Structure 1
Amino acid sequence: MADPILGYANTLYEYNGVSDGELSFGKNAVIAVYEEAGDDGWMEGELNGTRGFFPEAYVEYTPGIGSTSSAAGLAIIPPPPPLKTSQSGENLAQLSSNLGELDTMYDDDGNGEAGYYQPEPDYSDADFDSYLNTDVDPALALYISSSWEWQDALPYFDVDVSSPDKRKKFAGMKSYKAYTITTASQSWSVERRLKHCQWLRVQLVNKFPLIPVPVIPVKELVGKFAPREDKTAAIASFIENVVRHPVLRATDVVQHFLSVSAQADKRTWKAGKRRFEKDPITGPMFYRTIVPSAPVTGTDVPNFIDSFMARAKATVPAMGKAESTIIALGAQARNVAQLYIESGQCFRVLAETMGSQPPAFRAGIEAIGDAMSGMAIELTRHAKTQDLLVRLFEWHSTVTKLTDSVLRAEQKQRTKYLAAAARASKKIVNTPVEVTRLKSQEQVVMAMTSVAMAEVTHFLSSQLLDFKAALKAYITRELDHHRAMVAHWETALSAVDAMPASKLPGKLKL
């Protein structure tokens, strides 16, 4: 079966392929796209029966429904053929299995996946009496050390997320991208789609109301910074941050996500999903599992939390400005790339009009056009750099969750407890119910304060270190980018130096 057509690219400028395997085309042609652009800024498609590669910067790409017809224009895609009764039982079973997944299918450009972006629950005003009297398996206890750090229940392990591979469903009528997640230390390797990662995040958010679960900043990146870029950077960052967290990586749902194949062992995968979606230890029950190593006494810890909250909130506007600036730089780079393309074509036309000049003279002018075309491709590729933006979104999200949810919830419950304790102290006698309720509130505050401190400690030790590495990588890429731009000009300069010196006539007679 021929490769499906992923969409169509309308050519904006003329392009002459410079090597075997590249397409040549004029303006306003329509290319059927078989492979979308990767980090290098090149696409693969077919034009007039010829298949080859072409630069993304020269076209306007419109994703579409897959087709297997050749590209002679924007072909109308016929509906799928009806199911034949002569198909084998195996094929029918496979089709039935596929149809059973229709309610959970999402396309790969983010449409439909927004269903996983739901408001995160807020349990800061929950009534804690009922669940604090509920027994919880001691094996589920989460311990916090006297230095306000989560105690590791499972040693840290590395994960690797590869660039996506295209997979097909429904006899090739549907394609999607699958990312291979490898955990070498455990000999695990599974394929996951974006919707699987978003499902995992929903389970973690519901289970741990006071832990800022890492974000998957796909919505922020796609359509703003790199419209057609794959989501590898965002997904890899999410998985890495999950396994870096001492509590999250030890959960059964994360272990299930990393170890059970949704393709090879579909029954086990789905059974695990149903079990985790019905997990009773979620929401307010999370507080019941917290075991601080020492009681929170005095005012030092609350004062530290209040101070950190004030400082962290002050950084949020600067983060937002940095994000918008990087997005604007990416958009500007794409605009400059278009100008370089147009200028490069002007120099090529200029070279063609000088047919009477020596070849080296024309070659020098053409070299300037080639340099501008090369810089346009480099600018388009560079505009897709996402790592720093991913880190900014992560940092922004974590700080916002810490300040607006975790620390604010801790402050609210602490204030309620102190008010209740003050009222109780003024009474001569408190009823057993009042004593029990006050004790429950004290346990809640103890748990929430301990978790808040542990999360602040984790943020300061990991997120900021990651951000430093991202900054260094960003600067290194900027240097490499500018060196590549200079190299194009240096090549053009060498060609211009080789142009013959032209002498004017001694005198011009009018």
Structure 2
Amino acid sequence: MALLRARALYDFKSENPGEISLREHEVLSLCSDQEIEGWFEGVNSRGDRGLFPASYANVPPAGFEPLAAPATAFNPPAVQHQLPPPAAEPFQLPPPAASSGFSSFQAVPSYGGSSYQTSQGSDDDWDDDWDDSSTVADEPGVLGGSYPDYENAGLGSGGPGGSSSRYRLSTRSDLSISSRSSHPGSHLHHPGSGTGGPKSSATVSRNLNRFSTFVKSGGEAFVLGEASGFVKDGDKLCVVLGPYGPEWQENPYPFQCSIEDPTKQTKFKGMKSYIAYKLVPSHTGQQVHRRYKHFDWLYGRLVEKFPVISVPHLPEKQATGRFEEDFISKRRKGLAWWMDHMCSHPVLAQCDAFQHFLTCPSTDEKAWKQGKRKAEKDEMVGANFFLTISVPTGGPAALDLQEVESKVDGFKSFTKKMDESTIQLNQTVSEFARKQVTGFKKEYQKVGHSFKGLSQAFEMDQQAFSVGLNQAIAFTGEAYDAIGELFAEQPRQDLDPVMDLLALYQGHLANFPDIIHVQKGALTKVKESKRHVEEGKMEVQKADGIQDRCNIISFATLAEIHHFHKIRVRDFKSQMQHFLQQQILFFQKVTQKLEEALHKYDNV
């Protein structure tokens, strides 16, 4: 029996049924020389049969003479028990963990797979409350269930006159998955492009790394023209040209939302406890209660849906001490910062999932499940998300790719430097706060105790004229005790808010490498298409289509960068003013204590 061998280039760990694990340099036996949408089927050295990513193995080129199987090296019947029975259905590809967006384009790749995972642990685990397996949202005609009608009230994401009609997603592609004997890049025919002739024999290749953010976000599929559909007006995300360049169109109906009164509640007759936070959105005035797990769910949906938007990170979970007053207070402040950034973002604030989170009554479990299922079945994610972005066209709106690349590179350097400085500042402030709470308090109280000891010694004098001095020195000791307490309490007022803000921005800074990677990937495809045009291997019309789609990603990236800088200036201005004001008040209190002690000596 003739076998076609391949050699593994990297380690690969199977994560889904039907996949096999590989070890670097391992020799593999291929069951077929035909690549199946980025995967090969074969048998590893341990006799396991299944699929593995094609980019993870070195496969001989087409026409390579297969090796004859040695009688002792490999015995195919030994693994026949692993083969599917002849009557079984054709092998189904596993979920696209390693080839996201590559399964005939019927499923949109998930962005959240690499950067976000639903939290596991004892802190506010999902349970049957508001989330059981049987839901009315899966019934016919209920999937399109609506959220509260804010469009008619002028509060919808579409603004006045925004369309509330349903849209039909029509994903189509003329992309053909070529065999290994053809070009590594699949042939692409963008809808509406010219007919392929000798001039359009070249295609823009796919990334070999199917785990990259550019691929998993759907950016590659979008740039290559594999997404098409219909977007209703209410779902459009508009980028406009402002005085400093591209920016997101402002929310015409801005609002804020307060987070107050965290309370401990129980269920199952007291067997399970949790903390609920009261949310009061300003555009409805109706309070709702949400648990941390609901914030966690929303965060996951937003990260998956918006690959070029920095979704603020939530405060970290904690396995123990969840009901301690200090932890609850700190989490509430962190959630308040998170909510402020959500409401301030022109896109996130108008997202249907976020509006459902803010407005669905806490007691209406049916409405919550219906909206939750609708958000989870949102089709405008991955490559299709980019279809919702509307950008300026023509004239001054045209983007210079070199200028865009320069701006993005500059921002990349900026975020790296800011990240380093925020880490350093956070460590410095944290250490300073620790010294105030423990060291400074102890030292000042030690000084106060020493003054009191001197006063007690002077009292042994028994002279009437020394009584005033003794009392003044004792008061000085008490003043230093009080100053020590002021030092211990002060970090709550000035240093802790600074650390909360730094933690929030460290989350933002951690998001931008992936956002920049998507934009860089799009620019790479444009450069490749231009090279093919110069060589006469690709039609200009097809290359222009790739550049137009790259421009959409570039506009969105620049708009997000602009929003980050705008909100950063606002936040750090406000926080530094607050910090210095609290420092002034603190030292005024210290000065007042010292002045009171000083006046005690006036009548000595």
Q: Is this a same-fold pair by TM over 0.5?
A: yes
Structure 2 counterpart of 1:340, from 409, 424, 444: 444
Q: Is residue 231 of structure 2 the alignment partner of residue 231 of structure 1?
A: no
Does structure 1 residue 372 correspond to structure 2 residue 471?
no
Q: In the alignment, which residue of structure 2 is the partner of 1:306?
A: 409
Evaluate the alpha carbon distance shift between residue 191 and residue 435 of structure 1 in structure 2; reply closer, same or farther with a 3 A threshold. same
Q: Which residue of 2 aligns with 1:418?
A: 527
Return the alpha-carbon distance in structure 1 between the equivalents of residues 498 and 598 of structure 2.
Answer: 34
CA pair 326-428 structure 1, distance change in 2 beyond 3 A: closer
The 1:383–1:297 alpha-carbon spacing in structure 2 relative to 1, beyond 3 Å, is closer
| Alpha-carbon distance between aligned partners in 2 of 1:266 and 1:409, rounded to the nearest angstrom | 38
Matched, 1:282 2:381: yes
Contact 2:260 2:332 in 1 (8 A): yes
What letter is aligned with 2:576? L
Q: Which amino acid aligns with 1:491?
A: E
TM-score normalised according to structure 1 size: 0.64
> How much identity, in percent, do the aligned residues show?
23
Q: Decide which of 123, 127, 131 is 1:106's aligned counterpart.
A: 123
- Give, in angstroms, the shift of residue 412 of structure 1: 2.3
Q: Tell me the residue number matched to 1:124.
A: 214
Aligned length: 376
Tell me, in whole angstroms, the C-alpha distance in 2 between the residues paired with 1:352 and 1:168.
55
Aligned to 2:240: 145
Encode CA deviations 1:303-356: one digit per residue, 9 max, x unaligned: 333333334433332222222221121111112123334444555566567665
More helix, by proportion: 1
Letter matched to residue 192 of structure 1: R
C-alpha RMSD over aligned residues? 3.5
Residue number among 133, 152, 173 corresponding to 2:228 in the alignment = 133
1:81-96 matched pairs, under 5 angstroms: none
Q: 1:338 to 1:107 in 2, by over 3 A?
A: farther
Q: Displacement, 1:239?
A: 0.4
Shift of 1:281: 2.1
CA distance 1:364–1:283, change in 2 (3 Å) = farther
Q: What residue is the counterpart of 2:193 in the other structure?
A: none
Shift of 1:250: 0.4
Q: Relative to 1, partners in 2 of residues 1:423 and 1:106: Cα closer, same or farther, differing over 3 Å?
A: same
> Alpha-carbon deviations, 1:117-141, whole Å to 9, x = none?
xxxx963134405851344444322
Structure 1 residue 164: Cα displacement: 3.1
Note the alpha carbon deviations across 1:91-145, whole angstroms, 9 max, x for none: xxxxxxxxxxxx996269xxxxxxxxxxxx9631344058513444443221111
Question: Is the CA contact 1:144–1:151 (under 8 Å) kept in the aligned structure 2?
Answer: yes
For 1:30-69, list aligned pairs within 5 A.
none
Q: Structure 2 matches for 1:44-443, cutoff 5 A?
A: 106=123, 123-125=213-215, 126=218, 127-128=220-221, 132-147=227-242, 148-152=246-250, 154-162=252-260, 164-169=262-267, 176-218=274-316, 228=327, 229-262=329-362, 264-294=363-393, 296-298=398-400, 299-335=402-438, 336-345=440-449, 347=451, 356=460, 363-384=471-492, 385=494, 386-402=496-512, 404-427=513-536, 438=543, 441-443=546-548
Residues in 2 aligned to 1:255 and 1:136: alpha-carbon distance in whole angstroms: 19
Shift in Å, 1:292: 0.9
SS in 2 for 1:124: helix
Kept in 1: contact 2:124–2:291 (CA 8 A): no
**What displacement does 1:428 show?**
5.0
User: Using the alignment, how far apart are the partners of 1:487 and 1:141 within structure 2?
Assistant: 58
CA distance in 2, matches of 1:261, 1:424: 57
What is the alpha-carbon distance in structure 2 between the residues aligned to residue 351 and residue 219 of structure 1? 51
**Partners in 2 of 1:199 and 1:377 — Cα distance?**
41
- Aligned-residue offset at 1:474: 1.0
Maintained 8 Å contact 1:154/1:250: no
* Alpha-carbon spacing, 1:429–1:334, altered in 2? closer, same or farther (3 Å): closer
Contact 2:254 2:343 in 1 (8 A): yes
Q: CA deviation at 1:186?
A: 1.9
Gaps of 5+ in 2: 1-119, 126-210
Counterpart Cα distance in 1 of 2:483 and 2:272? 36
Give the Cα separation in 2 of the matches to 1:491 and 1:173: 54
Instruction: Give the deviation of 1:489 after TM superposition.
Output: 2.3
Write the distance in 1 (CA, Å) between the matches of 2:259 and 2:431.
28
Deviations along 1:380-424, one digit per CA (max 9) or x if unpaired, are 22122322223333344334433x122232122202221133124
Show structure 1 runs of 5+ residues with no match: 1-102, 109-120, 501-510
Tell me the distance in 2 between the aligned counterparts of 1:175 and 1:195. 13
Check conservation: 1:410, 1:448, Cα contact below 8 A: yes
Alpha-carbon offset, residue 233 of structure 1: 2.4
* Greater mean deviation of Cα atoms: 456-465 or 152-161: 152-161
Counterpart of 2:597 in structure 1 is 492
State the TM-score, normalized to the length of structure 2: 0.55
Pick the structure with greater CA Rg. 2
The alignment status of 1:456 with 2:541, answered yes or no, reads no
Report the AA paired with residue 476 of structure 2. Answer: I
